[in-house]
Amino acid sequence: MGEVDSAFIQAIEHRPKLAVTEADGIPLIDLSPLNSSDSKAIARLVAEIGDACKNWGFFQVINHGVPLDCREKIESASRTFFTQSLEEKSKVRRGELSPMGYYDGEHTKNVRDWKEVFDFVVEVPTLIPASHEPDDKELKMLHNQWPLYPPNFREACEDYTRETEKLSYKLLELISLSLGLPAKRFNEFFKDKTSFLRLNYYPRCPVPHLALGVGRHKDAGALTVLAQDDVGGLEVKRKTDGEWIRVKPTPNAYIVNVGDIIQVWSNDKYESVEHRVMVNSEKERFSIPFFFNPAHYTMVEPLKELLDDHQNRAKYKAFNWGKFVAARNLSNFKKLDVENIQIYHFRKSDQ
């Protein structure tokens, strides 16, 4: 990431220093009942998922079915890729015309997070709108850039993504059941999904009290399924009191959070929650988030089955997911004159 420059320090040194606690951490949920025919155990699991989504927006899962060797291969490939020279990594650097690939924050107008990333889409090509303008019907195709080294990099990434996607569908069905909906109610939205996977590398930081690996934010998509190493650093804002809670690494577990789309689909029953990543002065950190997102043409709005004419009226106007993504992606490369688009821009004024 290079030396810490004074402008960067000045931009972040006055950020709020909130207390962090590890007490009462996010729920840890065992998914093994999915492999049984015990209907009562499955019902308890659905209730656990619902409680975690409602009260936290985050939870960890174990006995999830993702093979350990599959995860180990992508973790090894990620470490090997990021420890290469900047010259080598820059051969697959992303840009406005090719937004998939390597990125270290140096070539945008935004204050950078203290990390490097490598992104790739699941569906090749992935279609998204060419612009955020409502009347522009043009689509662009997202393709992946793959480095030549390490030689097993692409295979490890694609194998891991297939397994993580299977887990994501299981979680999506449990969430649907927890809302009183059919298990596959959400599946129709993911026929031409815009999901992508990100490899994160957080180098050791000489000023950890001043920098953030990732600033406070909410995830815009449907679900995020995260693998983190044993260093840790993820913090979740607890809904009950606004305290930042450090997520302790659990071996071979996955951290799951609902995104803005599920917040809208559920009409605020399940809320997308703020989270951030802290850096470390002694250890580098690696993590792998899988962003499970619907097709670009999906109109996101509260599901009619969850609404009525009294207390549960729709709290959001419908919006096009692809146009939403296009507006967010544009802000990665250009300084916009307006605030980055958020779901609250679509909240109905009578709510």
pLDDT digit string (tens) for 8-32?
Answer: 444 444 444 444 444 458 999 999 9
Of the two residues 97 and 233, the one the predictor is more confident about is 233
Determine the Cα–Cα distance for residues 325 and 311; give it in Å rounded to an integer.
Answer: 31
pLDDT category of residue 6 using cuts at 50, 70 and 90: very low
Per residue in 196-243, pLDDT tens?
Answer: 999 999 998 888 777 778 888 999 999 999 999 999 899 999 999 999
Of 11-25, 113-127, 177-191, 289-303, which gets the smallest average pLDDT?
11-25
Q: State the pairing for strand pair 275-277/214-217.
A: antiparallel
Query: Does the domain spanning 6-346 belong to CATH 3.40.190.10?
Result: no
302 to 176, 191, 342: CA distances (angstroms): 13, 19, 16
Answer whether residue 255 shows pLDDT above 50.
Answer: yes
105: left (phi over 0), alpha (psi -120 to 50) or beta: left
Determine the Cα–Cα distance for residues 265 and 347; give it in Å rounded to an integer.
Answer: 13
56 token code pair:
């936290």
Of 50-54, 111-115, 158-162, 205-209, which gets the smallest average pLDDT?
111-115
